[in-house]
Amino acid sequence: MNQLQSAQAAKSGPKIITFLFITTVLTTICYAFLVGPNPQAAFGFGVIFSPALAAISTQLCFERNLKGLGWNVAPAKDLLLSYGLPLAYGLLVYGVVWLSGIGGFSLQALATHVGLATPLTIGAFWAYLAETASVGILRSALLAFGEELGWRGFLVPELLKRYSFAATATISGIIWAIWHYPAILLVEYNNAGAPLWFGLLCFTGLVIGLSFVLMWLRMKTASVWPAVLLHASHNIFIQTVFNPLTSKNSVTPYVIDEFGLGLVIVIGFGVYIAIKRDIFQ
């Protein structure tokens, strides 16, 4: 490590601590209003944007500018990859679930999810899918930006000044997972039907695996936008398409969603293959 790298590593420590402190304070304040005696749902947006606000505040405090957060426009092929990856691994996991009988493909389940009294017609389903995959992605990206500017825009590059790729992905993934725990424990952001401890374990494994992919895209493109798009695509396809399309039995909650084993296994295996083939290098 040369003198410049040593200086950057030394400076990154206080920046990381400051970022995590501000994120924790902002998130805690928002949760106090979100789950208190008089819950105010609007503070859910405050929780989501806490990492972004912390990143901006920390960067301005230490650098007096907002450079280095990954504002560059990424190549189209990387944006397309970011958009398509969740659709691909979602189809793989849920395709196995539907074909094996672990869960059923059900337009009625989707109709119930969107508040309809009658099943969706095939035409209405395709219209729903088209709207979700276009306008829905844009809405989801706005929310994903609130997280990704903090985690991948700021935290990952700072951790990389001190740690290896694998260590940075793992550390940032653990922090990302823990930041979600209050939502899982207090706001019912979980998969009913399986033990809470099981959901926490699977969720943690999932986000650590995704952290490798998100970090690779961030550093490959020097842009935060692929991470934002992948995060948005994951949320919209898993949470509003694949999950609602799946009718459940006693086994299903252990396999589907962000709190089941399916996504953990597929993404974990993908990350393992990528590491073995040095794709992340």
Name the amino acid, one letter, at 26: L
Write the pLDDT tens digit of every residue in 19-36: 999 999 999 999 988 887
From the list 120, 125, 140, the residue with the least C-alpha distance to 234 is: 140
Name the amino acid, one letter, at 5: Q
Handedness of CA 122, 231, 31, 195 (dihedral sign): positive
Say whether pLDDT at 8 is over 90. no
Q: What is the pLDDT of residue 115?
A: 79
Q: What is the pLDDT of residue 1?
A: 60
Q: What is the mean pLDDT of residues 240-259?
A: 95
Which tokens sit at 65? 């500018």
Alpha-carbon distances, residue 150 vs 36, 211, 268 (angstroms): 26, 13, 23
Residue 105's DSSP bridge partners are: 246
Say whether pLDDT at 223 is over 90. yes
The band of 102, judged by pLDDT with boundaries at 50, 70 and 90, is very high
Say whether pLDDT at 164 is over 90. yes
Lowest mean pLDDT among 47-51, 122-126, 241-245: 122-126
From the list 195, 252, 201, 221, the residue with the least C-alpha distance to 75 is: 221
> In the chain, what percentage of residues exceed pLDDT 90?
79
DSSP state of 152: I
The band of 249, judged by pLDDT with boundaries at 50, 70 and 90, is very high
DSSP state of 163: S
Looking at every residue in the chain, the average pLDDT score rounds to: 92
Neighbouring residues of 204: CB distance < 8 A, sequence distance ≥ 6: 173, 174, 177
Q: What is the mean pLDDT of residues 206-231?
A: 97
Write the pLDDT tens digit of every residue in 176-216: 999 999 999 988 787 888 899 999 999 999 999 999 999 99
To the nearest 5 percent, what fractions of the chain are helix, strand and coil? 75, 0, 25
Say whether pLDDT at 143 is over 80. yes
